[in-house]
Structure 1
């Protein structure tokens, strides 16, 4: 199966996970289309100054891979700088948030995997 960018579903969220600002997500796949434990595959663009609020993962895990920009991840209460090429792995039961601290969009891939 080939999915072109034009086949994606754009999802725009204000104050994602009760954070700040806005995120645009391009959904390529979601669980109803899949025959495995992947809940979704997204390419996200977090606007300058925006953040996805601190939240816990229950019965799923999430992986972020940074494509463009820079920011800060709150990884279970510990803040760390992130930039292009970094991967963030949040296990079931863990918490995280992500903030754009750069002067361009923070673009990252998100995989959500159900347990």
Structure 2
């Protein structure tokens, strides 16, 4: 297993996320088997305008969203917040969250998931 991956040379696949609207363009950069720690995966995701990551909850893990490009609205911690390039969001265990790309530009995100 290579410890170096290039997201721009990887094969993308389309995925509907948590019953969201539209398909996300996604690369699974690393999987659980690639780590010695409790990291489940690292994904690179492109969310097109008017597409969403559906509102959902994780009970046994946390997700960290690192916004690389774009802006949108995110529901996290029971409130809707504006997020943009450079923001890092922690979605804690038991907390519901979702994302709506309500801008006119694609949004690029790294998503890290870590188990308890």
Structure 2 length as normaliser, TM-score? 0.90
1:18 counterpart = 2:31: no
* Pairwise CA distance, 1:4: 2.6
Gaps of 5+ in 1: none
* Pairwise CA distance, 1:34: 1.5
* Pairwise CA distance, 1:24: 1.0
Structure with greater proportional helix content? 1
Gaps of 5+ in 2: none
Taking the TM superposition and a 5 Å limit, the aligned residue runs for 1:1-115 are: 1-5=3-7, 6=9, 8-14=10-16, 16-115=17-116
* C-alpha distance in 2 between matches for 1:77 and 1:20: 20
**Residues 11, 27 of structure 1: 8 Å contact kept:** no
**Residues 20, 50 of structure 1: 8 Å contact kept:** yes
Structure 1 length as normaliser, TM-score? 0.91
- Structure 1 stretches (4+) deviating beyond 2 angstroms? 8-11
When the two chains are superposed, the root-mean-square deviation of aligned CA atoms in Å is 1.2
Deviations 1:42-95 (A, max 9, x none): 111001100011100111000001111110000133100111111110111111
